[in-house]
Amino acid sequence: MSLAQAALIAVLFSVGTFLVLHRSLTRIILGIGLLGNGVNLLILTSGSVPGDAPILGEGATDLTDPVPQALVLTAIVIGLAIVAFLLSMAYRSWTIDGNDVVEDDLSDRRIAAQPDVDEDFGEET
C-alpha cells in the first residue's frame, strides 16, 4: 500500500466519521457513503498484490486473488441499497417534519436527567 492510498483511506474514514456524528440526516447519509468507500478501498489495497487475471488455461505465474474484488463488488451493492433506504427515510422525515435533524427521544432526555448512581457503593457520582 502506498502512502497516497493510505492517506486517501484515512481522509475518507475521518471525514465520514465527522459527518456521521452530526444530527442532520443528509450529513449522516453522506458520512455512511464515505465510510463505505473507505472500507472498499481498504479491502482492495490490503487484499492482494496486482497481477494477472486468474483465468484457467493461461500459463501466467503472477496471479492476483479475486476474493477481495468480489467482496468489494458485493459491498458496493449493499452500500448502495443502504444509502437508498436511508435516503427514503430522510425524505419521509422531511415530508413529516419539514427538517432533517435527528432529535432526542423523551426517554433519552429522562435518562440524561437522572443522577448517576454508582451501583457498587450506592453513591451519586
Domains within the chain, CATH numbers bracketed: 3-54+62-124 (1.10.287.3510)
Q: What is the per-residue pLDDT for 18?
A: 96
Q: What is the per-residue pLDDT for 105?
A: 78
Percent over 70 (pLDDT), the chain: 87
Residue 60 DSSP symbol: -
C-alpha cell of residue 75 = 459491498
Q: How confident is the model over 42-54, as pLDDT tens digits?
A: 998 887 777 777 7
- Give the mean pLDDT of the chain: 85
More confident residue, 1 or 21: 21
More confident residue, 89 or 105: 89
Contact 62, 90 (CB under 8 A): no
Collapse the DSSP code of 27 into the 3-class scheme (helix H, G, I; strand E, B; otherwise coil) and give the result.
Answer: helix
Contact 41, 76 (CB under 8 A): no
